[in-house]
Amino acid sequence: MRRHCGTAEAFDFRNIEVQKRTSVEKNHGRIETRRAALVPDVSWMDKPMRESWKKLAGVGMIEAEQQIQGKVSIERRYFIVSAGVKTVEQFAHAARAHWGVEAMHWVLDVTFREDDCRVRKGHAARNLSANRKFALSALRADTLYPTRSLRRRRRLADHRPDYRATLLGIQFPQ
pLDDT, tens digit, 9 for 90 and up, residues 62-82 = 999 999 888 999 999 999 888
Report if residue 22 sits inside a domain: yes
pLDDT interval class at 11 (50, 70, 90): very low
Q: What is the pLDDT of residue 122?
A: 85
Residue 12 maps to a domain: yes
Taking residues 131-151, report their average pLDDT: 91
- Could you tell me the strand order of the sheet in which 30-39 lies? 19-27, 30-39, 56-68, 71-82
Report, as an integer, the average pLDDT of 80-108.
83
Whole-angstrom distance, CA of residue 158 vs CA of residue 156: 5
pTM for this predicted structure: 0.55
| Residue 10: per-residue pLDDT | 47
Q: What is the DSSP string of 54-94?
A: TTEEEEEEEEEEEEETTEEEEEEEEEEEETT--SHHHHHHH
147: in domain: no
- Per the structure, the count of domains in the chain is 1
Q: What is the pLDDT of residues 14-62, one digit of tens each?
A: 677 889 999 998 987 889 899 999 988 888 778 888 888 888 888 899 9
Q: Which long-range contacts (CB under 8 A, 24 or more apart) does 50-56 make?
A: 53/80, 55/82, 55/83, 56/80, 56/81, 56/82, 56/83
- Let me know if residue 29 belongs to a domain: yes
The answer as to whether 60 is a domain residue is yes
Residue 160 is assigned to a structural domain of this protein: no
Q: Residue 29: which domain range?
A: 1-84
* Residues facing 31 on adjacent strands: 26, 67
